[in-house]
A and B are shown apart, each in its own frame.
Chain A
Amino acid sequence: MTDILFTNVRLIDPSQNLDASGQLAITDGIISAVGAGTADSNSAKADKVIDCRGACIAPGLVDMRVQTADPGSEHLEDLATLLAAAAAGGITGLGCLPNTQPVIDNAAMVDSLGLRASRATGPRLHIYGAATKGLAGKEMAELGLMAEAGAVAFTNATTSIGDTLVMRRLLTYANMLDKPVIQHCEDSSLAANGEMNESETSTRLGLIGIPAIAEAVIVERDIQLMRLTGARYHVAHLSTRAGIDAVRRAKADGLPITADTAPPYFLLNEIAVSTYDTAFKLSPPLRSEDDRQAVIKAIADGTIDAIASDHVPVDGDAKAQPFGPAQPGASGLDTLLALTMTLVQQDQISLLRAFEALSLAPATILEVTGGTLLPGAAADIVVFRPNSGWLVHGADFKSLSRITPFEGQPVQGLVDATYVNGVCVFNRHT
């Protein structure tokens, strides 16, 4: 007996290279049937038939870069608002960084957050363990115990591991555990006190620049360490042409390197900072137009595997400051799908490629549920209308964190409903 049958659907599944109209059935939380066909034959057997009237169904988004402020700063974002915002954004799985308070650098922390998330009805929370104790970049955290507790990857969150020997040992050890290491690539001394991308614009504005090569310096170093250790390695929010070129060359050499980026890096450039609007203060900083073009090309050709929200809970007070002291980061869960759809509307990538980057690739990199509509897979899906327009207003976000660099911008791509394990976790119309 089918629980839910979606009819009149445009099916988007990058895992089968499928973009066709048809229907999709869910039974016991599992996708039981998918494909062409009319409603008549199956609808009698379904508990519930939903006529999607041409809306798309795709694998739910797997957002592989999310910061949660819970535990520690729940006034900025707690687990409930985080999961609600993700669900509203069509996200069925999210990878959360360990830079909470206390830091997720031991198995008990992984357990605790994982347990709380599993009790909530909502998207799946995938936890990244801190690569080093207290995220200090010096001593290795208990990676093995955290892996046993369910950590899917290791990272130093918002800073690079600067010490090359520590990084070498991390890669070696994580490789033994068969988990990827995720790196925010930014040489800390080159980026010291940095406020924006280094360029004519930073000079004009009198803001301290972070040179674009601060990213490539770390990417290139880590690629050499990959050759030494054979470990899996993932570059988070890749944003520069030099960094992309390094990743592209490493991929050509057959190294197990992957990368993601986030919407600001393919939709905005450093010129946005010209009014000192702190909503545009991000880490890494918004880059040059040439870098932005390189990011788009890298998404299209697969050098950048995944697109993540890079969601950072920041409240108004931390942004209501001069540009220098303002906290970097912005809310991203609510807008990830619509902003990525911009690339589809501009014919930069296909809808299938968009969902490969939003869903299949991150699920594959993290080895977690999602990314496919194949029968037998968990019913983690998003129902959305790719051409429905809306205006981005932070105030409307489900996230408690409402600062977005896309405030007031018209976008297309509206999520109607999100299902995790066949359970509806978001429905726009109820």
Chain B
Amino acid sequence: MLPTRNLLGIEGMNPLEIRSLLDRGDQFADAMQQSGDDLSPLSDVLRGKTIINLFYENSTRTRVSFELAAKRLGGAVLNIAVAGSSVKKGETLLDTATTLNAMHPHILVVRHNCSGAARLLSHQVDAAVINAGDGRHEHPTQALLDALTIRRRVGHIEGLKIAICGDVANSRVARSNIHLLGTLGAEVRLVSPATLLPTGIEQMGVSIATNLQEGICDADIVMMLRLQTERMAGTETPSQREYYNLFGLDRSKLMRAAPNALIMHPGPMNRGVEIDSAMADDAQKSLIRTQVEMGVAARMACLEAMAVNLASETEKRGNGS
């Protein structure tokens, strides 16, 4: 299904590969909706396999989402919050990797605050590596779940006008979504204060606006990004008040978007900072809860793809090739 043994980023994936993951995610989402409260495994593709969640940054939703996804595929999951353990004892990323490798996990799900960390790790371990967010670089499963959410609600991605708004400079979610949505034929616009637009981003096939009303004009999807509060204290932007006034999404600004425009947010939200609180909860307009739900389905698709590749590797080894 995937030509690579790791999932390190969306950049470089072709539309077929992305669609195959989304199609599988779609099926898993259906299956989960049918099974309701019954959380027994939907597949045994990960049976006998160990999945380690190695998180160097705090995360609730991504970690839980991967854990649920792995369990519903019959896998055994270990959570390691490195933020609180070895890293404080001075152990390096690669030493931790070597240690974990000796335990022979099959899939390593990694989140790290440094760009490129998942890739570095993938060179050091035998397990397949899934990047669950590396610094400002990529967060591929978030982009996949976002795409799955859009596809299930709207039916397609090609041709949609999608505005990604907020702290683009520091967002791995933005980068993965730019790659994925662009590859699937959406028109991507970025809306951000000029101080939070990274150099040369327009060369990634997007258009740019520094005014929210203009940027979301006629947009079918308005995807808000989280802005860390410390960036609103006079460094990148002058104040939280000014940011909400200029770049926060509320009902009146949303009027400029397409009539049935939908709102997304990767979470966790700063209510009243980048997005109006009531609007975020409006099931008519907001896809934010669906995103969380689709997170499990999209990650099941990714884990399954890794497992299939691992199985074919084992088979090849068994054949002595």
Interface residues of A (CB under 8 A from B): 195, 198-209, 211, 275-276, 317, 320-325
Contacts and interface: CB of A to CB of B under 8 A. Distances in A.
B203 A200 contact: yes
Contacts of B114: 321-325
A204 B92 contact: no
Given A203-B201, A204-B175, A207-B136, A323 B116 contact: yes
Contacts of A205: 115-116, 137
Contacts of A276: 115-116, 119-120
B229 to A, nearest CB: 19
Contacts of B138: 206
A322 B204 contact: no
B183 to A, nearest CB: 14
20 contacts: A200-B199, A200-B201, A202-B199, A202-B200, A203-B200, A203-B204, A204-B11, A204-B175, A206-B116, A207-B115, A207-B135, A209-B198, A276-B115, A276-B120, A317-B92, A321-B93, A321-B120, A322-B120, A323-B116, A324-B116
B78 interface: no
A321 B115 contact: no
Interface in B1-35: 11
B137 A320 contact: no
B231 to A, nearest CB: 13
A206 B204 contact: no
B112 interface: yes
Interface of B: 11, 92-94, 112, 114-117, 119-120, 134-138, 172, 175, 198-201, 203-204
B203 A206 contact: no
Contacts of A325: 114
B92 to A, nearest CB: 7
Given A203-B201, A204-B175, 15 more contacts: A195-B115, A200-B200, A200-B203, A200-B204, A205-B116, A206-B115, A206-B136, A207-B115, A207-B116, A207-B136, A208-B136, A209-B198, A320-B92, A322-B93, A322-B115
Contacts of B204: 200, 203-204
A209 B199 contact: yes
Nearest to B114: A322
A325 B198 CA distance: 21
A201 B11 CA distance: 13
B137 A206 contact: yes
B199 A203 contact: yes
A149 to B, nearest CB: 39
A323 B198 CA distance: 19
For A276, A320, A325, the residue with the greatest tally of chain B CB atoms inside 10 Å of its CB is: A276
